[in-house]
Structure 1
Amino acid sequence: MSSKETRAITDLGTLKAFAHPLRVKLYRALYVARTATASQLADQVGEAVSLVSYHLRKLAEHGLIEEAEPQGEDGRERWWRPASESLTVRHEDVKDAPEKLAAQGALTRILLEQRVDLYRRHLDESDSWNDEWHSASFESEYLPRLNASELAELQVELDTLIHKYQARGRAAEAAGDTQGRENVAVHVYGFPFRV
């Protein structure tokens, strides 16, 4: 993986390229797998390899993914990986142009829809998880009364905490400790609202 820890998406072209439902799905699948081929990803998302290859090339054109070292003996297969540890699209980076704001809004809606679908799938498949996973899983809603700077501080603290656990899990897997490890989705939103 590239040494870039976080990539801020600030240009309209990259925002538009990423704001496509299949590309977001492919990016998520690749992020979880860390490295994969178009055929492996096609199996995961249920699309044709040729279509997946096209969308992977588009993601690569905008620097969101990059080629990885081949993992198998078939030198003809192209392997991909995320080009950075994470992606961000911040309001302050796109507020200068209505087109960027619209593209950010489209991307955010796609992400929300896919996150809801992922959670619905979890609920539909809940019988397949054992009691330990049922006890460990959670859903919460907190409604603190904060100002904007406190909300920003909360986001930084949550980010730090999640990265700590992410690094711990990756280090354990790199050391061969894979027993009982699963992909875990943690979706956090922090936004103001009025009643």
Structure 2
Amino acid sequence: MTHKGDRRVADMGTLKAIAHPLRMQLYRALHVAGAATASQLGEQVDEAPSLVSYHLRKLAEHGLIEEAEPRSGDGRERWWQPASEGLSVHDEDFRSAPETSAAHTAFARLLVDQRADLYRRYLDERQAWGAEWTGASSDSESTLRLTPDELAELNEELLTVIRKHDEKGREREAAGGTEGRENVAVHLYGFPFRV
């Protein structure tokens, strides 16, 4: 499923550019920040600005990020921003050959690992968030009996709800409602399995 503001990654060069652990971290950090410099991102990911700059240029070569207007400073440092609202990678674009299928699987595994790391970090820091946030957080699993069409329909409905809440939150924040607002990760997986 592709959201209208998403960039569909459908070629091996772009997939390989984003399927790198540090580049994926940088891409995520840019989405959270909206725009940032290599120095700012280097502090977040604990890497040297020169290394971060190299990886940012690789992401830019494939149109995943772009230069942004300077937000502050003396203008000597480049600012970067995502080139789209998000990315979508579809299995059908990469199943034509074993090497493209393997690259897609490696990318998907990287995403799962990074998402799991983010959730583990939340679990480790949970007490510091307080009862209001821990009470609002969720962790659930459901096992359904569905057809492929029903699973696709379920995924589209869930994404529609998530997009609605994202837009409402952004509108409220733009109107000045910043009190108590934090970044929130919502991870959904819907996939078949056999016991």
Q: Please indicate, yes or no, whether the TM-score normalized by the shorter chain is above 0.5.
A: yes
Q: 1:84: Cα distance to partner?
A: 0.6
Distance in 2 (alpha carbons) for counterparts of 1:72 and 1:61: 25
**Paired AA for residue 130 in structure 2:** N
Q: 1:97: Cα distance to partner?
A: 2.8
Aligned equivalent of 1:96? 96
Q: 1:59: Cα distance to partner?
A: 0.4
Deviations 1:160-187 (A, max 9, x none): 1111111111112212211000110111
Q: How does 1:75-114 map to 2 (within 5 A)?
A: 75-114=75-114
Aligned equivalent of 1:148? 148
TM-score after normalising by structure 1: 0.96
Distance in 2 (alpha carbons) for counterparts of 1:96 and 1:46: 38
Q: Indicate yes or no: 2:138 matched with 1:138.
A: yes
Q: How does 1:152-163 map to 2 (within 5 A)?
A: 152-163=152-163
Distance in 2 (alpha carbons) for counterparts of 1:37 and 1:98: 38
TM-score after normalising by structure 2: 0.96
Aligned equivalent of 2:17? 17
Distance in 2 (alpha carbons) for counterparts of 1:162 and 1:131: 23
Given that residues 12 and 99 in structure 1 are in contact (C-alpha distance below 8 angstroms), is that contact kept between their aligned partners in structure 2? no
Q: 1:95: Cα distance to partner?
A: 1.7
Determine which structure has greater relative contact order: mean sequence separation of CA pairs < 8 Å that are 6+ residues apart, divided by chain length: 1
**Paired AA for residue 92 in structure 1:** E
Distance in 1 (alpha carbons) for counterparts of 2:99 and 2:76: 39
Distance in 1 (alpha carbons) for counterparts of 2:98 and 2:66: 29
Aligned equivalent of 1:30? 30
Q: 1:154: Cα distance to partner?
A: 0.8
Distance in 2 (alpha carbons) for counterparts of 1:135 and 1:49: 38
Q: 1:122: Cα distance to partner?
A: 0.4
Q: 1:73: Cα distance to partner?
A: 3.7
Aligned length: 192
Cα RMSD for the two superposed structures: 1.0
Distance in 2 (alpha carbons) for counterparts of 1:144 and 1:116: 23
Deviations 1:33-92 (A, max 9, x none): 111111111111111000000000000000111111111142111111111111011011
Deviations 1:126-158 (A, max 9, x none): 110111101100000011100000001111111
Distance in 1 (alpha carbons) for counterparts of 2:186 and 2:122: 12
Q: 1:120: Cα distance to partner?
A: 0.6
Q: 1:31: Cα distance to partner?
A: 0.7
Deviations 1:85-108 (A, max 9, x none): 110110112222322211111111
Aligned equivalent of 1:65? 65
Report the 3-state secondary structure (helix = DSSP H, G, I; strand = E; otherwise coil) of the residue aligned with 1:130: helix
Identity level (%): 65
Distance in 2 (alpha carbons) for counterparts of 1:176 and 1:121: 29
Distance in 1 (alpha carbons) for counterparts of 2:148 and 2:114: 27
Higher mean alpha-carbon deviation, 104-113 vs 93-102, is at 93-102
Given that residues 15 and 100 in structure 1 are in contact (C-alpha distance below 8 angstroms), is that contact kept between their aligned partners in structure 2? no
